[in-house]
Amino acid sequence: MLMQDTIKQILLRLIIFSIMTCSTTLLASNHIKFNDVASIVIADNLSRLPKNNFLRELYTHLFFLPAWIEEDSPSALSEELFDEIIKDKTLPLSSKLMKKTLHIMSEVKEMYARYSKLREKMELEFKISKLYKEYASYVLYGKINWTSFKSKLYSFRKKGIKADWVTYKPESSPISLLVESFTNDNLTKMLKESKPTEYHYKELEKELYKYLKIANQGGWGHIAVKRNLRPNKSYKNIPALRKRLRKSGDYGESNPKGNLYDASLKKAVIRFQKRHGLLANGVVNKRTYKALNIPVEVRIKEIRLNLDRIKWLHQRHAKRHIVINIPSFTLFFEEDAKLLQTMKVVVGKIKKPTPIFSGTVETIVLNPSWNIPKSIIRKEMIPKLIKNPNAMAQRGIVIYKSWSRKAVKINGSSVDWSKYRNSKSMPFHFAQVPGVRNALGKVKFLFPNKFSVYMHDTPSKHLFKRNIRAFSHGCIRLQKPRELLKTFATFNASVDFKRSQKRLKGRSKAYLKLDNPVPVDIVYLTAYVDYDGVLQFRDDIYGYDKMQLQSYKNW
């Protein structure tokens, strides 16, 4: 039996060898179908590869049929692939992927211009599959090296900084995408449909094309940094400022002349300042000069980077959706993809960054108490108690002997707090009672997560007047929590806004379980298109742009 199997294998190898060395003409004369022969050859070639090898996995799903090469010409699918790569404006002509594509296209043309053996065709079939994998990975996954980036975040823990970024892998993969394209005979459509539909991805991609055009036309130059420019005064660099703002689409007036900083230019400056998260008062100061003089090539990198980030965000497809963008310090509440409500937020400090992740708002708490984390007790509360034993009582914070439900209250002066200043153990439970002084304010929005992060009110309303609002321990402080409560009440029978308003006048706690929970995504976008279709840029508050660009993949 073993001898028979061996003989069969030898015969099969001889057949395959003869097929591989045959010309296309010989196959045709023997009336052997190209696809049938190619399928045998593909299966045999890949049988020796590991099961998780891309080519083996791909062709298993394709039933070992060739996708790119036909008997007398390249397949329509390969023509689509080449066309998609060549017309992809996001790929520079100097990129490795573009160069490889042009080289393979030349090989294909040369091969079909002469008689060729099946072996040559199959080698080219596999080569195009590898090219496809690279391009599909570029389209689906982008250029961010997430493994490298997350290892850098983890290294921050040594410095006491707990930074985190949860990614959500795109729904499609290169293999599933090609299988669908192979079945529907339409790669262009499948590549288009694989792109994100949320977070204004398509609008941001259009802005990338505009900025690439500006770069190809020579960019927008540099404005000499002199003194602050104020409206209704004349300055020598006004013509350069007008030209710069016209290039980026902020200035629309035609045929401007002279050195006067007039009303139309002020309007353009304010638009620019708003788009870049600057104080929008029309005065061109140091920060505005800096933003104006960032080269278009740098802005292109930022747009590309944020397009790649969107690919790894949670694609919700939900009726209602809360998006909190950390670099813009803003909450956006959308319904049916349209902006329903927006407000300023305070996010985590640079050394206590708010994590990037997704959750679902399930419960609203009225008159919450604040169970203070042990890390805050150790770093912030104990130093205050050492100086003043009544410091917690003055802030409405109650100290319990332990975290047990039956734990007794203790006086701040009854403990030698210096023993716990650098101690890893913290048996005491600190809780701030409900009230106007409570750090969580009067309303809290819970979306369960491993980071213990939530949205809440705050007594520190003055912070919302700041342009850069990174002051919290990681949670999201809301500018208008009661307005958000009111919005939730419009589609949740469990939330009676009038009754809630009465309860908020007192101190009794209440938990409102939502009938219709709302997904919430905390994101980090330093370049994005807003709900009015306007391109926005924001400062890299946590330094994540720099970190991700350091290990950016070179396609």
Per-residue pLDDT of the chain (555 residues; tens, 9 = 90+): 444 444 444 444 444 445 444 544 444 444 358 888 999 999 999 998 999 999 999 999 999 999 999 999 999 999 999 999 999 988 988 899 999 999 999 999 999 999 888 999 999 999 999 999 999 999 999 999 999 999 999 999 888 899 999 999 999 999 999 999 988 889 999 999 999 999 999 999 999 999 999 999 999 999 998 899 999 999 999 999 999 999 999 998 777 778 999 999 999 999 999 999 999 999 999 999 999 999 999 999 999 999 999 999 999 889 999 999 999 999 999 999 999 999 999 999 999 999 999 999 999 999 999 888 888 898 889 999 999 989 898 888 999 988 888 889 999 888 989 888 877 788 899 989 898 889 999 999 999 999 999 999 999 999 999 999 999 999 999 999 999 999 999 999 999 999 999 999 999 999 999 999 999 999 999 999 999 999 999 999 999 999 999 999 888
CATH superfamily of 316-369+436-524: L,D-transpeptidase catalytic domain-like (2.40.440.10)
Token digits of residue 548: 């991700």
Token digits of residue 339: 């902006």
Token digits of residue 388: 């003043």
The pLDDT, as a whole number, for residue 549 is 96
Residues with Cβ within 8 Å of 87's Cβ and at least 6 positions away in sequence, in order, are none
Neighbours of 324 (CB within 10 A): 22
As a whole number of Å, the end-to-end CA separation of the chain is 51
Of 246, 275, 198, 209, nearest to 539 by C-alpha is 275
CATH number, domain 220-294: 1.10.101.10
Measured over the CA atoms of residue 78, residue 82, residue 83 and residue 89, the dihedral's sign is positive
The pLDDT, as a whole number, for residue 92 is 86
Of 26, 25, 83, 35, nearest to 63 by C-alpha is 35
Domain ranges of the chain: 2-141, 220-294, 316-369+436-524, 370-432
The pLDDT, as a whole number, for residue 265 is 95
d(Cα 84, Cα 533) in Å, to the nearest integer?
26
Are the beta carbons of 493 and 472 closer than 8 angstroms?
A: no
Q: In what order do the strands lie in the sheet with 429-432?
A: 370-371, 429-432, 397-400, 409-410
Token digits of residue 18: 């003869």
Q: Which residues pair with 536 in a beta bridge?
A: 528
H/E stretch holding 541 reads none
Of 543, 529, 492, 531, nearest to 513 by C-alpha is 492
Measured over the CA atoms of residue 412, residue 415, residue 420 and residue 426, the dihedral's sign is negative
What is the SS3 assignment for 367-403?
Answer: CCCEECCHHHHHHHHHHHHHHCCCHHHHCCEEEECCC
Instruction: Tell me, yes or no, if the pTM score tops 0.75.
Output: yes
d(Cα 515, Cα 391) in Å, to the nearest integer?
41
